[in-house]
Amino acid sequence: MFSAVLINKDDSGQTVEVAQVDEAQLPEGDVTIQVAYSTMNYKDGLAITGSSPVVRKFPMVPGIDLVGTVLESSHADWKAGDTVVLNGWGVGETHWGGLAQKARLNGDYLVPLVDAFTPRQAMAIGTAGYTAALCVDALVNHGVTPDQGEVLVTGATGGVGSVAVALLAKAGFTVVAATGKASEEEYLKKLGASAIIDRNELSEKGKPLQKERWAAVVDSVGSFTLVNACAQTKYRGAVAACGLAQGADFSATVMPFILRGVALLGVDSVMAPKAPRLAAWQRLAKDLDPALLEVIGGTEIGLSETIPAAADLLAGKIRGRIVVDVNK
């Protein structure tokens, strides 16, 4: 038996509890894992509260990220004792996830824990940090280099934004952080931002083409912020779009794309193939100083605390990342 957050649904609605689960109930998969840590992402908050139909099958164990030790494997890449990381792949939505002491997964989903981080640090990074690394890789692979000028990061104090600021700064880029929290200037500068702008400068409808400022952009906000970021991107610059914190709408014109050759690069972390996943974790290992994880901060909670934390997370009451010690 092991402990797991278990979401059930019947005609009277959704229930969620920390339950004792028999190992025989674990779903199919070729790698069984003793989970050490998981995290709470926005998506996990939606799953636990049931406020959005994230969960596609019941009963479900939420948790889109996990790190742990392989107990048993019939997959060629993994053997008992390996430390593995899982981000996404629909885990916690269609397949039992990380908010449990045990998990059974398809070995193709897994990547090795990089030497640079402890298991706990890997979860402090989580999907948010791994997505930030995918965004930076997308820009660099497009050909953006530090000598081309300033790079804008929107949603800068968020999970994705904070790690993007740190990774870009370490890679030599001049980073301008757009935030709604003027009080977090010192925090963003500690992460490596050179300057801060008020996110309100970007959040309203603007002209289709604006003064060229950014060599590149990492955007986790969407809506008019993304539209304006494209309109302010320099000739042949690139914009990596991964989020919708302001909104999923994108009421843009094609002008930046057809007159300035701006590239809009979509970034998805969930179904990303193995090669970009490994590359993203290598970038994190190389360019994210583990000491900055202390600056980004956060809270550590146990399995039973995830249920009340889910509502707080959705209400924006939690600063920094939430690491879940599933054995606490």
How far is CA 155 from each of CA 126, 165, 246, 257, 320, rounded to the nearest angstrom? 17, 10, 9, 23, 13
For 57, half-sphere exposure in the C-beta direction (CA atoms, 13 angstrom radius) is 11
Q: Cβ of residue 247: shortest distance to ligand NDP, in angstroms?
A: 7
Give the residue closest to ligand NDP by C-beta.
158
Of 223, 233, 219, the closest CA to residue 263 belongs to 233
Q: Cβ of residue 226: shortest distance to ligand NDP, in angstroms?
A: 10
Nearer to ligand NDP, 90 or 180 (CB): 180
d(CA 157, CA 144): 23
Nearer to ligand NDP, 26 or 40 (CB): 40
Q: Cβ of residue 178: shortest distance to ligand NDP, in angstroms?
A: 7
Is 52:21 a contact under the CB 8 Å cutoff? no
Nearer to ligand NDP, 43 or 104 (CB): 43
Q: Cβ of residue 81: shortest distance to ligand NDP, in angstroms?
A: 30
Q: Cβ of residue 115: shortest distance to ligand NDP, in angstroms?
A: 24
Amino acid at 155: G
Nearer to ligand NDP, 100 or 240 (CB): 240
Tokens for 57?
Answer: 């099958």
Nearer to ligand NDP, 6 or 134 (CB): 134
Tokens for 19?
Answer: 């339950």
Nearer to ligand NDP, 5 or 242 (CB): 242
d(CA 80, CA 328): 23
d(CA 100, CA 37): 9
**Contacts of 141-146 spanning 24+ positions with Cβ under 8 A:** 142/216, 142/238, 142/263, 142/265, 143/238, 144/215, 144/216, 144/237, 144/238, 146/171, 146/172, 146/173, 146/174
Residues that bind ligand NDP (CB under 6 A): 42, 127-128, 131, 155-161, 179-181, 199, 203, 220-221, 225, 242-246, 267-270
Strand partners, 198: 179
Nearer to ligand NDP, 110 or 240 (CB): 240
